[in-house]
């Protein structure tokens, strides 16, 4: 059994970041999906490692970590070759900025689209308005990414690295909602290159397979949501996105039906 375990869900872009980083380092790992994920009630090693009850979690012997940014920073220091960060402080700061924007603003848009399109949280005019705003916001963020490829083959710089693996899962997620980069842009060409890397292709393929499997059981998931057994997690930027994009009624209905949840830190 691999010494390193990653608790994950294939559709989580945060978990994909961790899996890609480990694969790029050549570190073998075992991927596990936590029991009862999505219910807000988890246990075992996963819950002990992450008081938030969120994926991903990395377990490396006696070391247990949560939060994807903390994990990939650990992976870079624990297995320094090949390096995934650029060489200069300015470039490292630029890459960390990319990661922060993807983890917060970009992820919230794709998450919100899943709420509307996959889980049916909004219908009719409200759904159309949320989808349109998500498309416009995605286009704006992709336009923001475009200059980061000025004079660079990769978002990380001269070589694939952290700047690429922390962006690829989110932009790939946009493809599934029809919000991929505009053809002919540097970002579109970058995405084609990045998806040819085995590490990214494996994570993206697992996500597509999980999405296809989930699509066959949406009726059951919808029933679980309606009953409150499956609770989608609203937190920080996700909650902000839904409200500022016009979906306050979605949040209020979820609270009334008790089928949304917020992070509860379950410390000792």
Condensed to tens digits (0 to 9), the pLDDT of residues 141-190 reads 999 999 999 999 999 999 999 999 999 999 999 999 999 999 999 999 99
What is the Cα–Cα distance from 255 to 257, expressed in whole angstroms? Answer: 5
Place 223 in a pLDDT band, splitting at 50, 70 and 90.
confident
| Within this chain, domains 4-78 and 89-215 share the same CATH topology | no
Place 1 in a pLDDT band, splitting at 50, 70 and 90.
very low
Average the pLDDT over each of 87-96, 156-165, 228-237, 254-263 and give the range with the smallest value.
228-237
Average pLDDT over residues 233-249: 96
What is the Cα–Cα distance from 160 to 208, expressed in whole angstroms? Answer: 23
DSSP string, 136-193: HHHHHHHHHHGGGGTT-SBTTBSS--HHHHTTHHHHHHHHHTT-PPPTTSHHHHHHHH
In the predicted structure, residue 218 carries a pLDDT above the cut 90: no
Q: Which CATH architecture has domain 4-78?
A: 3-Layer(aba) Sandwich (3.40)
pLDDT at position 59 is 96
Which DSSP state fits 30?
Answer: E
pLDDT at position 159 is 97
Which pTM was predicted? Answer: 0.93
Q: With 0-12 CB in 10 A as exposed, 13-18 as middle and 19+ as buried, what is 87? A: exposed
Provide the mean pLDDT of the chain: 92
Q: What is the CATH number of domain 89-215?
A: 1.20.1050.10
H or E segment and range at residue 5: strand 4-7
Q: Please state the domain extents for the chain.
A: 4-78, 89-215
Condensed to tens digits (0 to 9), the pLDDT of residues 190-215 reads 999 999 999 999 999 999 999 888 88
What is the Cα–Cα distance from 67 to 233, expressed in whole angstroms? Answer: 15
In the predicted structure, residue 9 carries a pLDDT above the cut 90: yes
Condensed to tens digits (0 to 9), the pLDDT of residues 12-51 reads 999 999 999 999 999 999 999 987 665 556 667 787 788 8
pLDDT at position 200 is 98
What is the Cα–Cα distance from 145 to 167, expressed in whole angstroms? Answer: 9
Average pLDDT over residues 263-268: 70
Q: Which string of b and e fits 227-265 if b means at least 16 CB within 10 Å? A: eeebbbbbeebbbebbeebebeebbeebeeeebbbeeee
């Amino acid at each position: 059994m691999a010494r390193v375990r990653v608790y994950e869900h294939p559709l989580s872009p945060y978990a994909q970041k961790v899996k890609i980083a480990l694969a790029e380092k050549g570190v073998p790992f075992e991927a596990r999906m936590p029991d009862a994920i999505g219910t807000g009630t988890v246990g075992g090693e996963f819950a002990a490692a992450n008081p938030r009850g969120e994926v991903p979690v990395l377990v490396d012997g006696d070391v247990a970590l949560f939060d994807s940014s903390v994990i990939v920073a650990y992976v870079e220091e624990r297995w320094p070759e090949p390096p995934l960060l650029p060489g200069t402080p300015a470039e490292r700061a630029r890459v960390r900025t990319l990661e922060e924007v993807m983890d917060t603003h970009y992820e919230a848009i794709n998450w919100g689209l899943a709420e509307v399109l996959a889980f049916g949280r909004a219908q009719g005019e409200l759904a159309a308005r949320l989808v349109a705003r998500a498309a416009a916001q995605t286009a704006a963020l992709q336009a923001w990414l475009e200059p980061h490829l000025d004079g660079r083959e990769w978002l990380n710089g001269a070589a694939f690295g952290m700047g690429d693996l922390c962006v690829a899962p989110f932009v790939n997620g946009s493809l599934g909602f029809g919000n991929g980069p505009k053809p002919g842009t540097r970002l579109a060409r970058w995405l084609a290159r990045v998806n040819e890397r085995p590490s990214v292709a494996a994570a993206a393929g697992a996500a597509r397979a999980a999405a296809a499997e989930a699509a066959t059981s949406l009726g059951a998931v919808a029933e679980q949501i309606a009953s409150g057994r499956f609770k989608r997690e609203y937190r920080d930027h996700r909650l902000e996105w839904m409200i500022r994009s016009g979906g306050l009624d979605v949040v209020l209905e979820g609270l009334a039906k008790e089928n949304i949840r917020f992070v509860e830190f379950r410390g000792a």
